[in-house]
């Protein structure tokens, strides 16, 4: 009976059917202290990568005094308090900032940057510090400008679905607020419990809902940004159509804090779906994964909201390090499919037709399904069902966390033609052999976005040399992108030419020179060093 999971049965049938309410998802797991290694073990970025400090001014006592007068009680100089903000979430890069500032308003950000520009002090904007390419922490002693206290929701229009908020609002908190209004955020990330919307926009974050709602370049309607010299740019439009001149906000979306500090965001939010279903399926080959995707895209159409995949190594790591268990095992690959719509009977019929087709054709070998059934909402099974749904999403969302427990992680965020998506994982395993502990692949199947992860007991420069630039050359050969959604940050900036022609990089450098002539905003990031 629906609502009571069947944990046994022949391998060629779906082994359980349970119900899932919209919004019940595991809390964002990517927090500052999630990884197992201690902060003291992280080598300084400047030493590991041999970076030379640019000729910025050094922080003085008079500088600290100015900031304390500007924002009393929100100036951090204690070395112990600063430690977690100098280290990235992966514990792979570390700076040595001696000062963190916590402004509450755009005016305060403007004051800070105006002063830093005049003094030639470098600034590192920082949101939730959940980035994966070293873009959110200092390389040397840059002042950390945190948006943690800029967490106010300015307005929400129920008619248009347009939300205006400060940049420091946590993604998960925004989604909780919107759900009470009958809406949701158009993006969803594994780091939602920690990441800030300003950081999401600054990195043009993708995530789990991009297949359905598109990227932030389409949903962000306006921005408020403070430029390097302290001048505030108010482009905080709440209009879906505005064709007056250049679309300046696009310059700052994905610029990773190198062109300006985002202080507020206007974003278009979709209505909360009334019916959501979830399927976790096992496939015997990646060719079957691709066939599953093409079949579900054709048969589910407008209700398809997520299509994720992972290999068996990912599932092993989640089970081993996080002690999670999967109701579906024994397959080389797994696919997680989510549908969301306004009519539960219509959506359930479409999903059942897809599953029947996938099972009878042999594309899918096993699976579990969570269907939105209003009839059991008041039953005592409801809480238990919610936990089952959390578990299914956790198997995908917590892979990143599980990898940090497996050793040092070399992370690659690649866009490729969907048919080639897993070939890179196979080729990398063959190339590295036993020099790597694990080589795994997972990601957003519907977007052609592969997360290639390689773990080792500890950082090894020789292993890095075996991975890079091979991984970028391979990606360029198939016209892919070396950064699908994580950005370039510090770690990937020197490889931008594998995805962009020299003319494009030169134009980007001209934009940077125009908006930040002294180069004080997030230096050493995003763009390659100029010779």
Instruction: Assess if residue 335 is contained within a domain.
Output: yes
> How would residue 391 be classed by pLDDT, with cut points 50, 70 and 90?
confident
Residue 527, domain member (yes or no): no
Answer yes or no: do 281 and 388 share one domain: yes
Residues in Cβ contact with 187 at an 8 Å cutoff, skipping those fewer than 6 apart: 171, 200, 205, 206, 207, 208, 209, 210, 213, 216, 219
Last residue of one domain, picked from the residues 217, 233, 268: 268
C-alpha to C-alpha distance for 391 and 327, rounded to whole angstroms: 9
Q: Is pLDDT above 70 for 489?
A: yes
Tell whether 279 and 386 lie within a shared domain: yes
Q: What is the CA angle 295-297-298, rounded to 5?
A: 65
> Tens of pLDDT along 195-237?
999 999 999 999 888 999 999 999 999 999 999 999 999 999 8
CATH number of the domain encompassing residue 202? 3.30.465.10
Looking at residue 47, what is its pLDDT? 94
Same domain, 171 and 253: yes
Q: What is the pTM of this model?
A: 0.89
Token pair listed for 248: 């300046």
Instruction: Tell whether 374 and 412 lie within a shared domain.
Output: no
Question: Mean pLDDT of all residues in the chain?
Answer: 90
71 lies in a domain? yes
b/e code 348-385 from CB counts within 10 Å (16+ = b)? bebbeebbeebbeeebbbbbbbbbbbeebeeeebeeeb
Omega of the bond leading into 168 within 30 degrees of 0 (cis): no
Residue 23 is predicted with a pLDDT of 44
Does residue 273 register a pLDDT over 60? yes
User: What pLDDT score does 428 carry?
Assistant: 98
Whether pLDDT at 383 is above 60 = no
Going by pLDDT thresholds of 50, 70 and 90, the confidence category of residue 41 is: confident
Looking at the structure, tell me whether residues 80 and 100 fall in a common domain: yes
Task: Write out the residue range of the structural domain in which residue 227 sits.
Answer: 153-268
* Rounded (10°) CA dihedral 463, 465, 467, 473: -170
Q: What is the CATH number of the domain that holds 333?
A: 3.30.70.2190
pLDDT digits (tens, 9 = 90+) for 140-193: 999 999 999 999 999 999 999 999 999 999 999 999 999 999 999 999 998 999
- Give the three-state DSSP class for 120: coil
pLDDT for 387: 65
| DSSP 8-state class, residue 10 | -
In this structure, the answer to whether residues 391 and 415 fall within a common structural domain is no
In degrees, to the nearest 5, what angle opens at C-alpha 30 toward C-alphas 454 and 144? 100
> pLDDT at residue 25 above 70?
no
Together in a domain, 314 and 242: no
489 with 525: CB under 8 angstroms? yes
Note whether 186 and 213 are within 8 A (CB): yes
Q: What is the DSSP secondary structure assignment for residue 485, as one 8-state letter?
A: S
**pLDDT tens, position by position, 105-153:** 999 999 999 999 999 999 999 999 999 999 999 999 999 999 999 999 9
Q: Domain containing 91 — which CATH number?
A: 3.30.43.10
pLDDT digits (tens, 9 = 90+) for 282-330: 999 999 999 999 999 999 999 999 999 999 999 999 999 999 989 899 9
Q: What is the pLDDT of residue 6?
A: 31
Confidence of residue 385 (pLDDT cuts 50, 70, 90): low
CATH of the domain at 429: 3.30.70.2740
Report the share of the chain in percent with pLDDT over 90. 83
498 assigned to some structural domain: no
Q: Same domain, yes or no, for 340 and 453?
A: no
Q: Is residue 30 part of a domain?
A: no
Q: Are residues 279 and 384 in the same domain?
A: yes
Q: What's the whole-number mean pLDDT along residues 420-436?
A: 97
Q: For residue 457, name the pLDDT band (cuts at 50, 70, 90).
A: very high
- Of 355, 371, 404, the position where a domain reaches its end is 404
* One domain for residues 161 and 263: yes
Secondary structure in 3-state letters for 431-476: HHHHHCCEEEEEEEHHHCEEEEEEEECCCCHHHHHHHCCHHHHHHH
For residue 157, the SS3 value is strand
Pair 255, 296 in one domain: no
Q: How confident is the model at residue 369 (pLDDT cuts 50, 70, 90)?
A: confident
Domain assignment of residue 106, yes or no: yes
With the CA atoms of 284, 285, 290 and 296 taken in that order, what torsion angle do they form, in degrees rounded to the nearest 10? 0
Residue 474 within a domain: yes
Percent of the chain with pLDDT over 70: 89
Total domains, the chain: 4
Query: What length is written for the chain?
Result: 531
Q: What is the mean pLDDT of residues 327-341?
A: 94
Residue ending a domain, choose from 105, 131, 146: 146
| 331 shares its domain with 246 | no
Band (495; pLDDT cuts 50, 70, 90): very high
Supply angle C-alpha 308, 162, 393, rounded to 5: 20
Establish if 400 belongs to a structural domain: yes
Q: Which two tokens stand for residue 499?
A: 């995805």
């Amino acid at each position: 009976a629906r609502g009571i999971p069947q944990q046994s049965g022949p391998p060629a049938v779906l082994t359980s059917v349970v119900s899932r309410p919209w919004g019940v998802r595991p809390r964002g797991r990517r927090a500052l202290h999630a990884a197992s290694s201690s902060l003291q073990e992280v080598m300084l970025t400047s030493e590991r990568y041999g970076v030379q400090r640019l000729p910025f001014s050094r922080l003085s006592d008079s500088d600290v005094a100015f900031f304390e007068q500007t924002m009393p009680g929100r100036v951090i100089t204690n070395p112990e308090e600063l430690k977690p903000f100098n280290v990235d979430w992966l514990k792979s890069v570390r700076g040595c900032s001696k000062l963190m500032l916590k402004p509450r308003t755009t005016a305060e950000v403007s004051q800070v940057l105006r002063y830093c520009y005049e003094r030639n002090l470098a600034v590192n904007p920082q949101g939730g510090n959940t980035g994966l390419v070293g873009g959110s922490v200092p390389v040397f002693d840059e002042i950390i400008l945190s948006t943690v206290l800029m967490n106010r929701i300015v307005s929400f229009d129920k008619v248009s679905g347009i939300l205006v908020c400060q940049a420091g609002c946590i993604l998960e908190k925004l989604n909780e607020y919107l759900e009470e209004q009958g809406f949701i955020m158009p993006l969803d990330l594994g780091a939602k419990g920690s990441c800030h919307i300003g950081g999401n926009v600054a990195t043009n974050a993708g995530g789990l809902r991009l297949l359905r709602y598109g990227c932030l370049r389409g949903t962000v309607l306006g921005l408020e940004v403070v430029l390097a010299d302290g001048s505030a740019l108010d482009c905080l439009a709440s209009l879906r159509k505005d064709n007056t001149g250049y679309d300046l906000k696009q310059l700052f979306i994905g610029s990773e804090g190198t062109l300006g500090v985002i202080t507020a965001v206007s974003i278009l939010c979709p209505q909360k779906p009334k019916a959501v279903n979830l399927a976790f399926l096992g496939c015997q080959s990646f060719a079957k994964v691709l066939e599953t995707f093409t079949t579900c895209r054709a048969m589910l159409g407008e209700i398809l909201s997520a299509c994720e995949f992972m290999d068996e190594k990912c599932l092993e790591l989640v089970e081993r390090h996080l002690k999670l268990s999967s109701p579906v095992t024994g397959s080389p690959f797994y696919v997680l499919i989510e549908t969301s719509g306004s009519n539960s009977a219509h959506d359930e019929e479409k999903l059942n037709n897809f599953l029947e087709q996938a099972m009878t054709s042999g594309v899918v070998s096993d699976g579990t399904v969570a269907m939105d059934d209003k009839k059991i909402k008041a039953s005592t099974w409801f809480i238990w069902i919610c936990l089952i749904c959390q578990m299914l999403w956790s198997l995908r969302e917590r892979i990143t966390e599980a990898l940090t427990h497996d050793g040092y992680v070399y992370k690659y965020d690649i866009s490729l033609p969907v048919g080639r998506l897993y070939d890179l994982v196979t080729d990398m395993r063959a190339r590295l052999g036993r020099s790597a502990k694990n080589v795994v692949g997972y990601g957003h199947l519907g977007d052609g976005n592969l997360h290639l992860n390689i773990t080792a007991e500890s950082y090894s420069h020789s292993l890095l040399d075996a991975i890079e630039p091979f991984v970028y050359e391979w990606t360029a050969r198939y016209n892919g992108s070396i950064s699908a959604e994580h950005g370039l940050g510090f770690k990937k900036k020197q490889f931008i030419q594998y995805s962009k022609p020299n003319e494009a990089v030169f134009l980007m450098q001209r934009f940077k020179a125009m908006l930040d002539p002294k180069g004080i905003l997030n230096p050493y990031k995003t763009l390659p060093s100029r010779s």
